[in-house]
Amino acid sequence: MFVEENRASVKRGWIEVICGSMFSGKTEELIRRLKRAQFAKQKVEIFKPSVDTRYHDIKVVSHTGIEIHSTPVASSSNIFLLAADTEVVGIDEAQFFDDELPNVCKQLADKGVRVIVAGLDMDFQGKPFGPMPQLLASAEYVTKVHAICVDCGQLAYVSHRTVANENLVLLGETDNYKPLCRQCYNISNQHT
């Protein structure tokens, strides 16, 4: 009886991952979930990698302009330190974080925190991106969102880079990337 009473009183945490290509609505979905938690008067902390300054230095901003205040951090270990006494942690652009991010998310979830992570599941070459594969494998909930292929109108598969740059990380928008389905991506790669 004592064990069951203790189990019922334990704060339960979990990990949610929102993934997909660029322009698929990952950040919008992250912000939607975080604002619902704030509306419910839950203590929410939002983090983003300090390298992502495309729209704003401290806010998480979607491509459509929806925004929420966040804390930029240089490494995933900072998230664990800054998330004390938090009920919900949001993390945007997870693919840009170091390989410790899955462990940080696990530690937070084990402490009873709801962790919501958004990020690109694949890089511009169609390969798993950064810590995302480990996050996807360890999450209780995974939501894959899709952009629309700008070449044919089907569901997009990958964020195709449209400029000549082989660096893994290249911050950009429609000037550097376009969402493509698998077939259009393969056709584009045959011409390069």
**Which residues are annotated as catalytic?**
93
Structure tokens at 190: 């045959």
Query: Residue 109 burial (CB < 10 Å; 0-12/13-18/19+)?
Result: buried
Alpha-carbon torsion, ordered 170, 133, 79, 119, to 10 deg: 50
Residue 158's nearest CA partner among 20, 62, 28 is: 20
Collect all residues with Cβ–Cβ distance below 8 Å to 10 and sequence separation of at least 6.
112
Cα separation, 77 vs 15, whole angstroms: 17
> Letter for the amino acid at 108?
L
Coil, strand, or helix at residue 176?
Answer: coil
